[in-house]
Chains A and B, each alone.
Chain A
Amino acid sequence: MGLLSKKDTKLITDPLADNNPITIQVLGICSALAITAELKASIVMAVSVLFVLGIGNVVISLLRNVIPSKIRIIVQLVVVAALVIIVDQVLKAFAYELSKTLSVFVGLIITNCIIMGRFEAFALGNGPWRSFLDGIGNAAGYGVILIIVGFFRELLGSGTLLGFPVLGNPIPGEQTGLYALGYENNGFMLLSPMALIVIGIIIWIQRSRNKDLIED
């Protein structure tokens, strides 16, 4: 880590815990509820946002002195949208299978408030390298929460992880594993309200461990 000064390291580590975009800044909640019904989708979304936010932050940071302040939000939106669409088109041409997995997320990435939030709050006022680190850090912090939520929702809702059955076979009449003992999947976990409750529990745990985070 000789490349990173102490301040730079903080840019990456802060959003992972004490300044997490989802649990502290309350950004990106919408996608955290929408696509965390299974772990794989959470991981794909986390990686996509990492990519887009890292590059987008650099682009906005480079343009920060020429963007007219009156239309800066529109400019930011155009940058994200153009970036995402170009990536989508390139994937469609050269990695078709992958693009089909990702195409569902394109709309969600463009409208993700974390991306706009970081452009607005950080990239417009800082240099490209620091903006890049900030983007990576925040996307990672977002991704961690997404993956935690996806893990619990898929495990408790479908009894699988990444599509593999880990709790046994739930089909009536031929149950194995936990299901043979009378366990049942909680279908409610698959619906968005439970994602909010899981995030709520994470926020609770986080704030009870670090009292400084509790607002008045």
Chain B
Amino acid sequence: MEKRTDKNSYTILFAVVMVVVVGALLAFTASSLKPSITENQRLEKQQNILYALGINDNDESNAVFISTAKAPEAFKNNVTDQLVITIDASGKIVKTQTRDEYVAETKQEPYLIDVKKEQENAKNGKNRKLPLFVGQRDGNTYYVAPIYGKGLWDAIWGYVAVDKDMVVQGAYFDHKGETPGLGANIKQRYFMDDFIGEHLLSEDGVFKGITVAKGNADPKNNNKTDNAVDAIAGATITGDGVTAMIKSDLKLYKPYFDTLKNN
């Protein structure tokens, strides 16, 4: 190697130029692609919610979303309202807004509410907004709630559709960076389908959640009232993360479902 490249001044100059060039390149790429990335993410949220609602293009064994071309139309037709329930730090409902009320107040669609940010608000003792999507499928009304938590490596999240008795009617899970072949399988159909029909409440109406359990002696998932589904081998911590986010996030909706029952 040439002598000139060993000089300190050259090294520093090179480092500075490299950082500026690469930084500018990345910033340019990120900002010029941002609109289409945001649009993709928006459509994906609609697809996720529709998937949980049971509106998808599933084939025999794979989970397939409804196509991005059809998603906005299906979302408009099947999601009849997007409620925003505001709860205070003690979990009591402060107010419940319909989509139109919420959009009039904030100029934002409720399905774009950042669940992670709301969790942080709650942690700081502030009010938390809980979006709840009211959907129609085959003449039944289902409620889809978003959940968010952490797996082994990074964030995991999902959408769970329940009926008015908090019996699960559909579930969609996704992850940012779980291990391929192990934790990443939470977005496989065989795992997500196990949740369908499971009860979130115990028989006397107490919120129990659904535990992703090892060795629950029910691998075929025949028992729908045991508040448990079969875990994925080799993915203990991701499974525990799913259990935890179902417990902590869906529990918050219980007071709202209580009010549904009283009406």
**Count of A interface residues, CB-CB < 8 Å:** 39
Cα A93 to Cα B181 with chains together (Å): 26
A75 at the interface (CB under 8 A from B): yes
Whether B233 contacts A82 by the Cβ 8 Å rule is no
B257 at the interface (CB under 8 A from A): no
Beyond A74-B15, A90-B29, list 15 extra A-B contacts (CB 8 Å): A37-B182, A65-B5, A66-B14, A68-B11, A70-B6, A71-B11, A82-B22, A89-B29, A93-B33, A94-B36, A96-B40, A104-B176, A190-B181, A190-B233, A190-B234
8 closest cross-chain pairs (CB), A and B: A37-B181, A41-B180, A38-B181, A68-B11, A93-B33, A190-B234, A96-B40, A93-B36
Structural contact, B233 and A104, CB atoms closer than 8 A: no
Contact sample, A vs B, 15 pairs, CB 8 Å cutoff: A35-B179, A35-B180, A37-B181, A37-B234, A40-B180, A41-B180, A68-B14, A69-B1, A90-B33, A93-B37, A171-B219, A172-B219, A172-B220, A187-B233, A190-B181
Given A68-B5, A104-B178, does the pair A82, B14 have CB atoms closer than 8 Å? no
Assess whether A89 is in contact with B33, with CB atoms less than 8 Å apart. yes
Tell me the smallest distance from the CB of B200 to a CB of chain A, in Å: 25
Q: Tell me if A's interface is mostly helix, strand, loop or mixed.
A: helix
Which residues on the A side are within 8 Å of B1 (C-beta)? Answer: 65, 69
Residue of A nearest to B175 (CB): A104
Least CB distance from B182 to A in Å reads 6
Most chain B CB within a 10 A radius of its CB, from A41, A85, A96: A96
A40 CB contacts on chain B under 8 angstroms: 180
Q: A85 to B27, alpha carbons, bound, how many Å?
A: 11
Residues of A with C-beta under 8 A to B112:
none
List residues of chain B with CB within 8 A of the CB of A68. 5-6, 10-11, 14-15
Instruction: State the CA gap A191–B36 with chains docked (Å).
Output: 38
- For residue B4, give the distance in angstroms from its CB to the closest CB of chain A: 9
8 Å CB interface, B149-189 against A = 176-182, 184
For B89, the chain A residues whose CB sits under 8 A away are: none
**CA A82 – CA B40 in complex, angstroms?**
22
